[in-house]
Structure formats: C-alpha cells, structure tokens
A and B are shown apart, each in its own frame.
Chain A
Amino acid sequence: MSESEIAMAGHEAVREDSPYGIQHKKLGIWLFILSDAVTFASVLFAYGYVRVGSPGWTRPFEFSPTIANGMVMTLALLTSSLTMLGALEAAKHDHKSRCLAWLGATMLLGTLFAALHIREWLKMMEDGWRLFQNPLGGPALFGATFFSITGLHLTHVVAGVVALAVVAGKFNRSRMDAGHVETVGLYWHFVDIVWMFVFPLVYLMNAR
C-alpha cells in the first residue's frame, strides 16, 4: 500500500489485529494477574521454606472457630465469583440495573469476607498472637507468615471491593462498559483463586 493510499484509508486500515483478540485493558489485567500470581507464589514458597526449616511448627487452628470460619469465608468468596459472573452476563446484555445488583452482591460478599477475616485477626491478637510472638511457645515466625500472607490477600480483597465500587459507579453513569466489568471481574476471580491456595496451605495445614 502506497503512502497516499494509507493516508486515504485512514488510521483504522493499517492497524494490526491483536494476536490475542482481546482489548488492551483485558491483556493488561492478564499481565498484572500473572505478575501478582508470582508475588503470591513467592510469599507461599517463603512460608513453606520457613516451615520446613523450623522444627516443632505450631498448628494452632481448631475446627471451631478457625477452620469453620475459614469455610464460611471460602463460601463467601466463591459465591462472590458467581455473582461477578452474573454481573458480567448482565453487562454484556446491557441490563444495567441487573448488572449493578450483581456487582452490589459481589461487593457485599467481599466485605463480608474482609469482616470475618478482621474479626479472626482481632481474636488471634487477643490470644497473644503478634507478627513475631507465638503465645503457644513454638516458632515465632508463625505469626509473621500467617499475618503477612493473609494480610496481603486481605489487601487484595479490599482493593477489589473498591475497584468494583468505582466500576459500578461509572457503569451506572455509562462512562464504563461491559469490557471494564469483565476486566475488574478477572481481578476478582484471581483474588478468589489465590484464596484456594491460602485456605488449604495456611489454615488446613495448621489445623490441630
């Protein structure tokens, strides 16, 4: 194509097709998720490293309340992934009010997860657990690994709820579309997937 033909055709005619067939924001969030997955993997590997190298590792979690609480948190997070899918389906079909209702449910479940998590932390602190303090007399690094892993995940959940609120607000004012709902949904599902590793490795592996 000559230069004049390109000029005649305009910018659209020479734009290359994406090799992935997705919008740039979706590719961006996938790359972010990839890097964040490596971050969580590093933290979980570090936890494994410390645990393997520390004889007499503490296993403080009773079924009730800690494991049962963890199961309720898992139920809340898994269900929030389902409501997120509902929001995306509604957004794709341009059902604005239904999409907002599903997004609201997702945020509510995310908030419930965070509230249960914080309540559990407060109870543990009441029992004497600190970042470098183990009230049961075992390795002090238990607190460091537990609070850092669950804290990093909780930060992601809170950030996700805020991101959902922003997208819901802008989607309501038609300043964002279904693509944005899908992008924030991908992040939300990722947070759920991370919990699928945190719950068994940090909670169940430390159950009495």
Chain B
Amino acid sequence: MGAPKTKDGMGMGPFVAIWAGLLCIVGIEVFLTYRHFSSQKLLLFLLIFACIEASIAVMFFMHLKYERPSLFWSLVPALLFVLFMMDHFWPDALRLEHLRVVHW
C-alpha cells in the first residue's frame, strides 16, 4: 500500500494558522451581512466564502491534499456533478412566485 504524502512531524503550527484564517472568514461573513447588500449579492458573497472555507478544511483539516490524487478525483467531481444537477430545480422555484392566486 502506497504511503500517503502526509508530512508527519509537521506539527500543529500550520493548522493553527488555517484555523485562524477560517475564523477571519467567518468574521468577514458576519461583517458583510450587516453591510445591507441585496439578498442576491449577499447570498453570492456568503456562498463564495463558505466554499473557500470548505475547500480549505477538506484539503488541510481532512488531509485530502496529502492523499493520492486518485482519491480527490474520485470524490470531488462526483459531488460537484450532483450539486450541479440539483441546480435544475431553481427555474421551478422561481415559477412558484407567478403561480400564486391573486386575491382582489
């Protein structure tokens, strides 16, 4: 069995730095929430930051960066494909707004 590329003895230092970085991102998210952006713009910003946070956590905290690339290529594209296919529901959600009964 091939050894993973994890650097044993790397210590906790880099992880503490990543942890601090993730906390900063959460702080930025909260700050942006009270900047009175439109809902669409705020959603976009929050999703971008959440995806950055999740990517960092998966690669470093979950050590995916140090595993064989085959693991990454087996898991991540499959998940992204499913998430992409789920996006096909949005037009129907938007359609709901126009299907409401108007009470005169």
Q: Which residues of A contact B (CB under 8 A)?
A: 17-22, 27, 30, 34, 37-38, 41-42, 45, 48-50, 52-53, 55, 63, 67, 71, 74-75, 78-79, 81-82, 84-86, 89, 92-93, 186, 189-190, 192-193, 196-197, 199-201, 204-205, 207
> Of the candidates A21, A71, A79, which one forms a contact with B68 in the assembled complex, judged by CB atoms under 8 Å apart?
A21
Within the complex, what minimum Cβ distance (angstroms) separates B84 from chain A? 11
Does A53 lie within 8 Å of B93, measured CB to CB?
yes
Does B43 lie within 8 Å of A197, measured CB to CB?
no
Q: What is the 8 Å Cβ interface bit string for chain B, positions 42-54, against chain A (1 contact, 0 not)? A: 1100110110011
Chain A residue nearest to B14 (CB atoms) is: A85
Chain B residue nearest to A190 (CB atoms) is: B62
> Of the candidates B49, B67, B100, which one forms a contact with A200 in the assembled complex, judged by CB atoms under 8 Å apart?
B49
Chain A residue nearest to B64 (CB atoms) is: A30
List, in ascending order, chain A residues with CB within 8 A of B101's CB.
Answer: none
Does B49 lie within 8 Å of A30, measured CB to CB?
no
Task: Return 5 A-B CB contacts under 8 Å, by A number.
Answer: A19-B70, A21-B70, A27-B71, A34-B75, A192-B61
Evaluate whether A63 and B34 lie within 8 angstroms (CB atoms) in the complex, with A20-B71, A38-B82, A201-B50 already known: yes
Does B12 lie within 8 Å of A21, measured CB to CB?
no
Cα(A190)–Cα(B63), bound, Å: 12
Cα(A187)–Cα(B88), bound, Å: 29
Chain A residue nearest to B3 (CB atoms) is: A21
Cα(A129)–Cα(B24), bound, Å: 32
> Of the candidates B23, B30, B57, which one forms a contact with A192 in the assembled complex, judged by CB atoms under 8 Å apart?
B57
List, in ascending order, chain B residues with CB within 8 A of A207's CB.
Answer: 33-34
Chain A residue nearest to B49 (CB atoms) is: A200
List, in ascending order, chain A residues with CB within 8 A of B26's CB.
Answer: 71, 74-75, 78, 199
Within the complex, what minimum Cβ distance (angstroms) separates B88 from chain A? 10
Chain B residue nearest to A74 (CB atoms) is: B26
Does B12 lie within 8 Å of A200, measured CB to CB?
no
Evaluate whether A48 and B93 lie within 8 angstroms (CB atoms) in the complex, with A21-B4, A189-B62 already known: yes
Within the complex, what minimum Cβ distance (angstroms) separates B68 from chain A? 5
Cα(A48)–Cα(B77), bound, Å: 23
Does A189 lie within 8 Å of B57, measured CB to CB?
yes
Within the complex, what minimum Cβ distance (angstroms) separates A20 from chain B? 5
B89 is an interface residue with CB less than 8 A from chain A: yes
Cα(A207)–Cα(B54), bound, Å: 22
Does A78 lie within 8 Å of B19, measured CB to CB?
yes
Cα(A86)–Cα(B23), bound, Å: 18
> Of the candidates A27, A34, A50, A200, which one forms a contact with B78 in the assembled complex, judged by CB atoms under 8 Å apart?
A34
Within the complex, what minimum Cβ distance (angstroms) separates A159 from chain B? 18
List, in ascending order, chain A residues with CB within 8 A of B79's CB.
Answer: 34, 37-38
Evaluate whether A17 and B2 lie within 8 angstroms (CB atoms) in the complex, with A30-B71, A199-B26 already known: yes
Within the complex, what minimum Cβ distance (angstroms) separates B74 from chain A? 7
List, in ascending order, chain B residues with CB within 8 A of A22's CB.
Answer: 1, 4, 67-68, 71
